[in-house]
Chains A and B, each alone.
Chain A
Amino acid sequence: MEPPQLGLIEQSFNSRYSNWAREALDELPDNFTITDPCISGHPIVFASRGFLKMSGYSRDQVVGRNGRMFQGPNTCRRSVMEIREAIREERGVEISLLNYRKDGTPFWMLFRMAPVFGKDEGRVIHFVAVQVPILRRRQRRRNGEGLCGEILSNSCRREVCSSSSVELAGVSAADSDCRALEIEEKCEASDTEKQLAATAISNVLSVLTHYSESTGRLVCEKRFGPSLVSSSLHISLGRIKQSFVLVDPHLPDIPIVYASDAFLRMTGYARNEVLGQNCRFLTGVDTDPSALHQIKQSIQAQQACSVRILHYRKDKSSFWNLLHISPVRNATGKIAYFVGVQIEEGSVDRHGLSPEMRQLSVVGSIKVAVRSSSMSYSIH
């Protein structure tokens, strides 16, 4: 999977928070990451110094990548599933998780994640994840134990938590064999560690809310207002690499409520220029009105159709669009959206799938995503 362009990552952060935000976040001693669920792949857009130290990676190796890079063979799959579902449901989660450093060594940490909502959008724009390493407190019958025990009881908790992974490894070298056996068992965090996590999350969230004021694009910890397309649906749709839009037939003038990155690239528009608009901006002087009519009829009849239509990009250049339109139902069984999948005539698929098959697979993926994401009663 190619990491998303750095430009998108930068923009994810910079468009929301002022320049001072980075400095303020860098001053926090906590280990945390900030991720953007609206960028395909749900990548990390910011990693704190503490986090990089803890994991052993450099900033370049982490920003743009997904959090699963820190998982490994002994990471509990159920826990991973819990986190995945929390993301999907746009809520927070706190769970112990086994992660792996760059050098391959595993370590237990308390993972606490919280959503950040955009005030205008009413949906999640970032997730903040805090990681507090969980230290073993078990009594061990080995020589190294005394040393380990002393360090744990004498050091200030905060310092131990943010100490480098090298130091931690040094402390536990004597009982590494013992740890290996235990590493598989679920590790519960202490109250102190949970408190640390709570404080860290709070620190990060206050920085973010504070520094979003100056950009005018406010963020907050709680959802504000109804959302058009939920963030969980965004994540699912973000997996689809082809060009498509979702339009809402229940709203006046059937506006676009979702546009894929590929659509924006194909047409040359920016996302904020197309969201809320009817698709007619794609048509121009030489567009055949009968094709438009066919589209309109299919939507009214609630049926799928394929048309070959002349469309125009933002720069006024035209292209032949093999457009496929299909109704998409949600969990109520009723039509929620229509999807339009665009293929530029003459483009070739590297797998040898015909354009029709490619389009149908997009439709299928979207149908699954829309139906599933609307099933939970909590989303309604």
Chain B
Amino acid sequence: MIGKGKVGCQRGRQVADITAIHGVTRPLIHVRSVRRKLDIIQSNPSAHGGRGALPSEGGSPSDLLFLAGGERMMLRIKRVPTVVSNYQKDEGEDAARRGGGCGRNCLQKCCIPGAKLPLYTFKRAEEIPGDKCVLEHDDNQAPVAFLDSLLLGQWEDRMQRGLFRYDVTACETKVIPGRCGFMAQLNEGRHLKKRPTEFRVDKVLQPFDGNKFNFTKVGQEEVLFQFDASEDGEVQFFPDAPVDADSSPSVVAINVSPIEYGHVLLIPRILECLPQRIDRESFLLALYMAIEAGNPYFRLGYNSLGAFATINHLHFQAYYLAVPFPIEKAPTRKVTTLGDGVKISELFDYPVRGLVFEGGNTLQDLSNAVSDACIFLQDNNIPHNVLIADCGKRIFLLPQCYAEKQALGEVSSELLDTQVNPAVWEISGHMVLKRKKDYEEASEENAWRLLAEVSLSEERFEEVKALIFEACSYTLSEKEDEHLTQGAGDDKPPLEGTGSINKGRNCNMVSGTQECLVLQ
């Protein structure tokens, strides 16, 4: 944790107050009228749920478990995990399989030697100012990009080979009438009628556990292609490339319980068995995929642990849906521009509070700004979701607290009965419903109400937001120190207030916009 450790240590105590997931008992009645020195953000009476607004009516189906002994209170919820691979079994069943050579053509040492998969290599963007992505493909009117074709063709092939648990195109779907345009799908086959599993929701960072299901256990037929940067700066495709374990390949695999057509999983450096946590390199890979596909309706999403990730093996999800997502249509208010050109805005008039990252002098700048924000959140145990939209030009970051509420019995049984786990797609406005009744009665109001429960409260979001900015600008300060730049920001006044550790450090925010005052 370079430098982030410093942030964590000095601010540890304050962060614990924010999510309160650490074992500090905090009152369930949230004080809504918190005002800080120089805080110009008005406290609106909000339509959002906020913390502790909806006490459980009792008889809630979610279990609340306490770990006896030790100071920490462990929070867990029970849910039926989504099956994303045909080789994903209950832990009990998995343990029964033993013996050498699994015989099912997986991606572990037993089967990797000699394995061959198509390989797509993309061209890295040069680190020069200006347009960083292939503008030709950013439109629904441009010709289909090759990666797009490859992915769709491979997916259709697996469809016809019967690898999916159901035909998602046979599931009825609609846009819910209203100004937001939430999407609902009736999908009775996605959720299994199985015994729910326990998920620990109070730790965003958990170590990789080889005994549990991970993506090296999928069958090779579920992998569509390898996806990596090209060595020589040219886009290339090899229909039949050997899987070279030493080169740490990243792959794209199908999700056998698709939400929509083309639902895939991007698994960076699959053989390294990284746990579900963001790092700069992996996030950049995801961003490249969005750009290469060149289709604004092909979006990538990420769920942290505690924000409804099912599997603790680093992965992003993606699928096609050629309609605008409500979150993309939500108005935004610009908050600041970082020194490297990354613009950060805030959603408003949307049930979930979140940030939007755009711009950046180079692609790496944009990618790193989001990565660093995620790294901060995960280091400070704040569950979050990320949506990469608009061919990688707009990235949404949404901290959430639904699982925590669920574990504490604070979600109404009405909402719990819909069994909607609000992960990135749901938060973006795409709901998959398992009961016909819920589908038929789906309304903008209901969707809004559910998502409002997911959002951090206004006060908490402001706190998290301020800390994210500090983390981002702190990182930039380090970068400047490394390059020994002189005088950058020396003449700018230090940030005041809220125990900011940036006193006297370089301020990388572009001054002059009123929104900057939020940090003071």
Asked if A pairs with B, the answer is yes
- Determine how close the nearest CB of chain A comes to the CB of B192; give it in whole angstroms: 20
Given the known interface contacts A84-B139, A304-B160, the answer about A331 and B173 at a Cβ–Cβ threshold of 8 Å is yes
Q: A73 near B131 (CB under 8 angstroms)? A: yes
Q: B174 near A235 (CB under 8 angstroms)? A: no
Residues of B within 8 A of A331 (CB): 172-174
- Determine how close the nearest CB of chain A comes to the CB of B381; give it in whole angstroms: 32
Q: B297 near A368 (CB under 8 angstroms)? A: yes
**Chain B contacts with A in 136-180, Cβ cutoff 8 A:** 136, 138-144, 146, 148-157, 160, 167, 169-175, 177
Residue interface mask B353-388, A partner, CB < 8 A = 1: 000001100000000000000000000000000000
Residues of B within 8 A of A365 (CB): 144, 148-149, 152
**Assembly CA distance A184 to B337 (angstroms):** 11
A203 is an interface residue with CB less than 8 A from chain B: no
Quick one: which of A68, A239, A304, A363 contacts B143, CB cutoff 8 A? A239
Given the known interface contacts A84-B296, A331-B172, A351-B237, the answer about A371 and B329 at a Cβ–Cβ threshold of 8 Å is no
Which chain B residue lies CB-closest to A181?
B512
Of A17-25, A138-146, A250-258, A372-380, the segment with at least 4 beta carbons within 8 Å of chain B is A372-380
Residues of B within 8 A of A363 (CB): 152-153, 156
Residues of B within 8 A of A367 (CB): 156, 169, 261
Q: B324 near A85 (CB under 8 angstroms)? A: yes
Quick one: which of B149, B152, B172, B328 contacts A78, CB cutoff 8 A? B328
Quick one: which of B131, B142, B175 contacts A239, CB cutoff 8 A? B142
Most chain A CB neighbours (cut-off 10 Å) among B138, B139, B334, B358: B139
Q: A377 near B322 (CB under 8 angstroms)? A: no
A352 is an interface residue with CB less than 8 A from chain B: yes
Quick one: which of B136, B167, B393 contacts A77, CB cutoff 8 A? B393
Q: B143 near A364 (CB under 8 angstroms)? A: no
**Assembly CA distance A128 to B320 (angstroms):** 29
Q: B172 near A333 (CB under 8 angstroms)? A: yes
Residues of B within 8 A of A329 (CB): 167, 169-170
B492 is an interface residue with CB less than 8 A from chain A: no
Residues of B within 8 A of A37 (CB): 141
Most chain A CB neighbours (cut-off 10 Å) among B143, B238, B239, B390: B143
Residue interface mask A341-380, B partner, CB < 8 A = 1: 0000000000111101111111111011101110111000
- Determine how close the nearest CB of chain B comes to the CB of A96; give it in whole angstroms: 14
**Assembly CA distance A37 to B173 (angstroms):** 26
Q: A66 near B139 (CB under 8 angstroms)? A: yes
B262 is an interface residue with CB less than 8 A from chain A: yes
Residues of B within 8 A of A368 (CB): 152, 261-262, 297, 320-322
A40 is an interface residue with CB less than 8 A from chain B: yes
**Assembly CA distance A213 to B124 (angstroms):** 53
* Number of chain A residues close to chain B: CB under 8 A: 53
Residues of B within 8 A of A332 (CB): 172
**Chain B contacts with A in 192-241, Cβ cutoff 8 A:** 237-239
Residues of B within 8 A of A373 (CB): 322
**Assembly CA distance A295 to B255 (angstroms):** 31
Residues of A within 8 A of B149 (CB): 353, 358, 361, 365
**Assembly CA distance A151 to B324 (angstroms):** 42
Residues of A within 8 A of B297 (CB): 368, 372
**Assembly CA distance A360 to B157 (angstroms):** 7
B34 is an interface residue with CB less than 8 A from chain A: no
A238 is an interface residue with CB less than 8 A from chain B: yes
Q: A351 near B146 (CB under 8 angstroms)? A: yes
Which chain A residue lies CB-closest to B510?
A181
Q: A239 near B156 (CB under 8 angstroms)? A: no
Which chain B residue lies CB-closest to A186?
B334
Given the known interface contacts A68-B138, A88-B140, the answer about A77 and B358 at a Cβ–Cβ threshold of 8 Å is yes
**Chain A contacts with B in 210-245, Cβ cutoff 8 A:** 235-236, 238-241
**Assembly CA distance A337 to B376 (angstroms):** 49
- Determine how close the nearest CB of chain A comes to the CB of B7; give it in whole angstroms: 30
Given the known interface contacts A88-B140, A329-B169, A371-B261, the answer about A364 and B155 at a Cβ–Cβ threshold of 8 Å is yes
**Chain B contacts with A in 99-150, Cβ cutoff 8 A:** 130-131, 135-136, 138-144, 146, 148-150
**Assembly CA distance A240 to B334 (angstroms):** 37
Q: B154 near A1 (CB under 8 angstroms)? A: no
Which chain A residue lies CB-closest to B160?
A304
Most chain A CB neighbours (cut-off 10 Å) among B142, B153, B183, B237: B153
**Assembly CA distance A363 to B153 (angstroms):** 7
- Determine how close the nearest CB of chain B comes to the CB of A81; give it in whole angstroms: 6
A42 is an interface residue with CB less than 8 A from chain B: yes
Quick one: which of A333, A359, A377 contacts B169, CB cutoff 8 A? A333
**Assembly CA distance A362 to B150 (angstroms):** 10
B323 is an interface residue with CB less than 8 A from chain A: yes
B418 is an interface residue with CB less than 8 A from chain A: no
A41 is an interface residue with CB less than 8 A from chain B: yes
The secondary-structure label for the interface of chain B is mixed
**Assembly CA distance A41 to B144 (angstroms):** 10
**Chain B contacts with A in 242-297, Cβ cutoff 8 A:** 261-262, 296-297
B310 is an interface residue with CB less than 8 A from chain A: no
Which chain A residue lies CB-closest to B345?
A78
Q: A333 near B322 (CB under 8 angstroms)? A: no
Residues of A within 8 A of B136 (CB): 1
Q: B329 near A78 (CB under 8 angstroms)? A: yes
Q: B144 near A377 (CB under 8 angstroms)? A: no
**Assembly CA distance A78 to B349 (angstroms):** 15
Given the known interface contacts A66-B139, A239-B142, A368-B322, the answer about A376 and B296 at a Cβ–Cβ threshold of 8 Å is no
- Determine how close the nearest CB of chain B comes to the CB of A128; give it in whole angstroms: 17
Given the known interface contacts A236-B322, A368-B152, the answer about A1 and B261 at a Cβ–Cβ threshold of 8 Å is no
- Determine how close the nearest CB of chain B comes to the CB of A358; give it in whole angstroms: 7
- Determine how close the nearest CB of chain A comes to the CB of B310; give it in whole angstroms: 25
Residues of A within 8 A of B131 (CB): 73
Q: B322 near A81 (CB under 8 angstroms)? A: no
**Assembly CA distance A85 to B297 (angstroms):** 11
Residues of A within 8 A of B171 (CB): 333
**Assembly CA distance A143 to B135 (angstroms):** 39
Most chain B CB neighbours (cut-off 10 Å) among A328, A360, A368: A368
Q: B512 near A375 (CB under 8 angstroms)? A: no
**Assembly CA distance A365 to B393 (angstroms):** 22
**Assembly CA distance A354 to B153 (angstroms):** 10
**Assembly CA distance A376 to B331 (angstroms):** 21
B394 is an interface residue with CB less than 8 A from chain A: yes
**Assembly CA distance A316 to B36 (angstroms):** 82
**Assembly CA distance A236 to B140 (angstroms):** 7
Residues of B within 8 A of A181 (CB): 512
**Chain A contacts with B in 31-56, Cβ cutoff 8 A:** 37, 40-42
Q: A364 near B261 (CB under 8 angstroms)? A: yes
Residues of A within 8 A of B142 (CB): 1, 41, 66, 239
Residues of A within 8 A of B239 (CB): 352-354
Residues of A within 8 A of B155 (CB): 364
B332 is an interface residue with CB less than 8 A from chain A: yes
Residues of B within 8 A of A235 (CB): 140-141
Which chain B residue lies CB-closest to A40?
B143
Given the known interface contacts A81-B328, A372-B297, A375-B174, the answer about A361 and B150 at a Cβ–Cβ threshold of 8 Å is yes
Q: A353 near B320 (CB under 8 angstroms)? A: no
**Assembly CA distance A16 to B150 (angstroms):** 38
Which chain B residue lies CB-closest to A41?
B141
Residues of A within 8 A of B332 (CB): 78
**Assembly CA distance A73 to B262 (angstroms):** 30
Query: Ordered nearest first, which 3 A-B pairs have the shortest CB separation?
Result: A364-B152, A361-B153, A372-B322
29 contacts between A and B (CB under 8 A): A1-B143, A40-B143, A41-B143, A66-B139, A66-B141, A68-B139, A77-B394, A78-B332, A81-B296, A82-B329, A84-B140, A236-B140, A241-B144, A329-B170, A333-B173, A354-B239, A358-B153, A360-B153, A361-B152, A363-B152, A364-B153, A365-B144, A367-B169, A368-B322, A372-B323, A375-B174, A375-B175, A375-B183, A377-B177
Q: A41-B143, A375-B323 are in contact. List 20 more A-B contacts (CB 8 A).
A: A40-B143, A77-B390, A78-B331, A78-B332, A81-B324, A236-B322, A328-B169, A329-B170, A333-B173, A352-B238, A353-B149, A357-B154, A364-B152, A364-B262, A367-B156, A368-B262, A371-B261, A371-B322, A372-B297, A372-B320
